[in-house]
Structure 1
Amino acid sequence: MGLSIIGIAYSSYQLGFSYATGSQATAEARQIYYSSSEEPAEAKPPEAKRAEARVPAIPAMPSKTTSRLDSLKKITPDVVGWLRLHDTPIDYPIVQAQDNLYYLNRNYKHEESKSRSIFMDYRNRAEEENRHTVIYGRNMKDGSMFGQLKRYADLEFFRTHPAFTFDTLYESYVAEVFSVYYTTTDVDYIRTQFDTDAEYEAFVQDIRERSLYPSDVSLSADSLIITLSTCDSTMDKEAGRLAVHAKLTKLAKEDGAGRSE
């Protein structure tokens, strides 16, 4: 019995240490990312939509995107972006490996971590513009990582958080949410390759129709979209997922005089 108690105590210590390591790594990443240059500018959904939603402007990603990510890439070359949802703890670096398994138990510094990482699907090409970018994160009970995504199932949150910001190696985007729903891994909502425009439009229409709430975000075959995916037990304890889909619009870059390009 004594050995069992020791074993439980040791396991609890390891778990606590793993979570602490993950939190420390996140804090370090934010310090590096936000440490240089001016305050972030504002990123806004199209004015008409923002007026209809009656929500405040959404803080944008910093304008000096590439240099900030370059600083993180010196720590790990796997860093491919940054994700931020205002008024929530979602404010994390995005990493990518050669498969979708590596970062299931590691933080962005390759350290073992129970909180894991926010990571991009290995099928996406981080150095290119993707028609459909897929991002995964753990549904943490303490609300960290993608533990806040479940709040999108609430209509008020859906209305007051119509967009988030997404940074890649070369561009910054505002992402307008157009669909949120519970699903399972049987549904191919994370498809990344499409042979024709018709296939892509059918896919977008399908995920839009699955949404718990309607949205007036306009979409076409030329639209770029992003999906945030996390585990959720609503539909199935093992295969259940929560999906949040958003349309990507590039943020205007400013020159040295503060003019938009």
Structure 2
Amino acid sequence: MKKLIKILINIICIITLIFSILSIYIKLSEYKKADEIYTELRENTSNNNSKHQELYDKNSDYRFWLKINNTNIDYPVVQGYNNDFYLTHDFYKNSLPSGSIFMDYRNNFENDKSLIVYGHYMKNKTMFGQLENYTDEAFFKENNLVEIEYKGQTYTYEIFSVYTADLINRDYLNIHFNSNDEFKDYLNYITERSVHKSDIKVDISDKIITLYTCNYEFKDARTIVHAKLISKKL
């Protein structure tokens, strides 16, 4: 009987090991596929005024290119008809658990004062995995510029707030405001939440962008980074 139990335990251990190896292989394959897609887009798209149209021709959901210096965040941003589709689909709308970097479906890039961009936290530190670097104060202060390429223009944003939030309470994800006072209260709220204090001032005349990803500090934790638009040029 003891011998049978030992055999069963060994079988269970082997099955568990095989399942773990298979899960790791699948996950690494997903990462590789996502990296290949983005590498292809970076290498085979013109780096000039025609870039926007080229990417839009490949996917009409394309909105702009997002880049943060001194990180590997360098991606096209798409926008779906909801905030679920691109969680599990690649740039070409093919099913892929790694998903895409995408803008909130409620946003209008040119008109809204508050933009929100979502991306998965990948364990190989791709996609929005390196947003957690901003929880380090030195990195926060020395690498705080976000660049967006949109229709031949470069929009530069300056990061002024970073913090960890929970999934349930989403009062940090506001897009539309009923009044200037409401927008002002929102700006004060997200500024005061920052784990690092910044000398950057924000007011109701500013346009801001919020970068959103998960983290593993606690269950349903999210890393939130806010930046304000400081320049726009050709």
Q: TM-score, normalised by structure 1?
A: 0.78
Query: Which has more radius of gyration?
Result: 2
Q: Distance in 2 between matches of 1:10 and 1:214?
A: 44
Q: Distance in 2 between matches of 1:94 and 1:129?
A: 17
Alignment partner, residue 48 of structure 1: none
SS in 2 for 1:251: strand
Deviations 1:3-24 (CA, angstroms, capped at 9, x unpaired): 9587766655543332222111
Q: Distance in 1 between matches of 2:67 and 2:160?
A: 17
Structure with greater proportional helix content: 2
Q: 1:244 corresponds to which letter in structure 2?
A: V
- The answer to whether structure 1 residue 31 and structure 2 residue 43 are counterparts is yes
Alignment partner, residue 70 of structure 2: 87
Alignment partner, residue 204 of structure 1: 187
SS in 2 for 1:97: coil
Which of 144, 147, 151 is the equivalent residue of 1:165?
A: 147
Distance 1:196 1:137, change over 3 A: same
The RMSD of aligned alpha carbons is: 2.1
- Uncovered stretches (5+) of structure 1, i.e. residues with no partner: 38-63, 254-261
Residue 162 (structure 1) shift? 2.0
SS in 2 for 1:74: helix
Q: 2:197 corresponds to which letter in structure 1?
A: P
Alignment partner, residue 133 of structure 2: 151
Q: Distance in 2 between matches of 1:151 and 1:82?
A: 21
Q: Distance in 1 between matches of 2:25 and 2:199?
A: 49
For the 8 Å contact 1:171–1:250, the answer to whether it is kept is no
Distance 1:112 1:16, change over 3 A: farther
Alignment partner, residue 164 of structure 2: 182
For the 8 Å contact 2:52–2:152, the answer to whether it is kept is no
Deviations 1:26-65 (CA, angstroms, capped at 9, x unpaired): 00111134x345xxxxxxxxxxxxxxxxxxxxxxxxxx3x
For the 8 Å contact 1:153–1:212, the answer to whether it is kept is yes
Alignment partner, residue 51 of structure 2: 68
For the 8 Å contact 2:66–2:147, the answer to whether it is kept is yes
For the 8 Å contact 1:85–1:164, the answer to whether it is kept is yes
- The answer to whether structure 1 residue 244 and structure 2 residue 225 are counterparts is yes
Q: Distance in 1 between matches of 2:127 and 2:65?
A: 13
For the 8 Å contact 1:80–1:168, the answer to whether it is kept is yes
Q: TM-score, normalised by structure 2?
A: 0.86
Q: Distance in 2 between matches of 1:9 and 1:140?
A: 18
Which of 11, 16, 22 is the equivalent residue of 2:34?
A: 22
For the 8 Å contact 2:112–2:176, the answer to whether it is kept is no
Q: Distance in 1 between matches of 2:23 and 2:136?
A: 36
Residue 214 (structure 1) shift? 1.3
* Structure 1 consecutive aligned stretches of length 4 or more whose deviation exceeds 6 Å: 5-9
Residue 216 (structure 1) shift? 1.6
Q: Greater shift after overlay, 180-189 or 194-203? A: 180-189
- Uncovered stretches (5+) of structure 2, i.e. residues with no partner: 1-10
Q: Distance in 1 between matches of 2:47 and 2:173?
A: 35
